[in-house]
Amino acid sequence: MATTAKPAAKKAASKTAERKPNAAFMKPLTPSDTLAAVIGATPVPRTEVTKKIWDYIKKHDLQDPKNRRNINADAKLKPLFGKDQVSMFELTKIVSGHLK
């Protein structure tokens, strides 16, 4: 019994080289007044909103020193968060509620 030769496996193309940014992430959104107090009032894409919030958190050293996944609210973030501390996983959900 002769076995037939299988065609050589094609190399998987790099997905990152072919990917294009999702238009929904690149669409400028207007922040609410509460969020604008932290990142500014100009419309920015969702990705930039996240970057600006993290820049603010790092600049003001608001990550909990014992558990770095938690963010402590200061006077500007407390109205946005609605409580004294949130986890970084809650952050995206909270922020999305403040974008139009």
Confidence bin at 18 (pLDDT 50/70/90): confident
Domain extent at residue 63: 44-100
In a domain, 93, yes or no: yes
What is the count of structural domains for the chain?
Answer: 1
In a domain, 91, yes or no: yes
What pLDDT digit, counting tens, does each position of 43-93 carry?
999 889 989 999 999 999 999 999 999 999 999 999 999 999 999 999 989
d(CA 83, CA 6): 61
Question: Tell me, what CATH number does 49's domain have?
Answer: 1.10.245.10
Collect all residues with Cβ–Cβ distance below 8 Å to 40 and sequence separation of at least 6.
31, 52
Instruction: Print burial letters for 25-35: b (CB count within 10 Å at least 16), e (below 16).
Output: eeeebebeebb
- What's the confidence (pLDDT) of residue 16? 57
Cβ 78 vs Cβ 64: under 8 Å = no
d(CA 95, CA 49): 8
In a domain, 65, yes or no: yes
